[in-house]
Structure 1
C-alpha cells in the first residue's frame, strides 16, 4: 500500500501487480528471435542460387558484361581442357573482378546477340550467341566442345562445381574452328540442353550467329 500526500489529505492506493513483468534482456532476446525468423522466411521465399569460386563462375549481364569458361592453358583444345583445373572463367573487361579470372579481349565477339526468354517450364533464361575473334588462348583448329553446370561425372558440372551467376544451370559451347560461341543460363535444366554437345551452337542454343 502506498500513500500520495495532497494539500488536504493522504490518499492511499494499491499498486497494480502484473502476473509477469519481462525484463529488458528478455525483450531484446524476443526481438532478436523475431528478426531472425523474418529473415529466414524471406530467404525461403526465393530459392538460393548456387555459388562457386570466381574462376569457376560464368555470367551474362549484357553483350559487353559477361564471363565464359575457356581452356586454362593457352592453345589447348576444349577436349584437352576437360580435366580438373584445366578450365577457367574468362571475363570481359567490365566483368573481370578477380585475379583468378582470365580476361577476354574487348573485341572477343565479332558479332553477338543477347536474348532473354521463357522456357518450356515457364522459367526464364538468358543467352549470348554469335561469332568470335580467335585470340591466343584458343586453338584455331579446335572443333570445340561443351562446358556446363549440370553434366560431367555425376551431374556435377564440367568444370565440376561451375555455376552461372543468378541462375541454377548453364550450357556453353565454344567452337574456335567455326569462329563461334554460345552460352545460355537458365533456371530449369530442361532449358539448357546437354545432350547435343557435338551438334554445334545452333542446335543447342538457337539464336543469331555468323
Structure 2
C-alpha cells in the first residue's frame, strides 16, 4: 500500500510540474517578397479577437509556399498591399476586408511580434512587428534586421505610426 501512495505522489508531482511549465511557442518561417507575395499573422480562428490572441497568432500568406504554416489568406481578405524593401527591413502595408475572416468592426486590433511569438524568421530576420486593425480595415507587417527598426512598444499608436507606409 505504501508503494501505491508513493507512486501516486510521483504522478501528482509530475502533473503539477507539467501543468505549471511555460508553454512552448511555435516558431515559423515567413516571407515578404512583394505586394502579391507576403504573409501576415492572424488570429488562430475566424472571428477571434486580435488583441486576445497576440501570443497565439498564425501566419497566413498570399501563397501556402511563403510560410511554414502553409495557410493562405481567405479570398478577398487583402484589399490593397504596398511593399517596401530597404537595406535593414522589409514591410507590407495596406487595407483588408475584416468580414472575410469574420473579424469584428468593434475590434480595435492588436500586435503580433517577436516578443510574443518566439522563433519566427522573416526574410531571414529575427525581429518583426505585425498589426491588424479590424475596426479600421488596416494591417501592417515589418520584418527587421535590428530590433530598433521594429518598434514593438507602441501598438496603441496604430499601423501608420508603428509602420509608416501607404494605407490607401
TM-score range, shorter chain: 0.7 to 0.9
1:115 partnered with 2:87: no
Match of 1:6 in 2: none
Tell me which stretches of 4 or more aligned residues in structure 1 moved more than 6 Å: none
Q: What SS is found at the alignment partner of 1:195? A: coil
Match of 2:70 in 1: 101
Shift in Å at residue 106 of structure 1? 4.6
Between 1 and 2, higher relative CO (CA 8 Å, sep ≥ 6) is seen in 2
**1-structure distance, mates of 2:38, 2:52:** 24
TM-score (norm 1): 0.61
Aligned ranges for residues 26-175 of structure 1 at < 5 Å? 53=27, 56-83=28-55, 86-93=56-63, 95=65, 100-118=69-87, 124-134=88-98, 135-149=100-114, 157-175=115-133
* Structure 1 residues 140 and 103: CA distance shift in structure 2, 3 A: farther
TM-score (norm 2): 0.75
Q: What SS is found at the alignment partner of 2:81? A: strand
Which structure is larger by alpha-carbon Rg, 1 or 2? 1
Query: Which structure's residues are more often strand, by fraction?
Result: 1
The superposition leaves residues 5-27 of structure 1 with CA deviations (integer Å, 9 ceiling, x where unpaired) of: xxxxxxxxxxxxxxxxxxxxxxx
Given candidates 138, 157, 165, the residue that maps to 1:199 is 157
- Number of aligned pairs? 142
Structure 1 gap segments, 5+ residues each: 1-51, 119-123, 150-156
**2-structure distance, mates of 1:87, 1:94:** 16
The superposition leaves residues 63-90 of structure 1 with CA deviations (integer Å, 9 ceiling, x where unpaired) of: 111121111022111122134xx32111
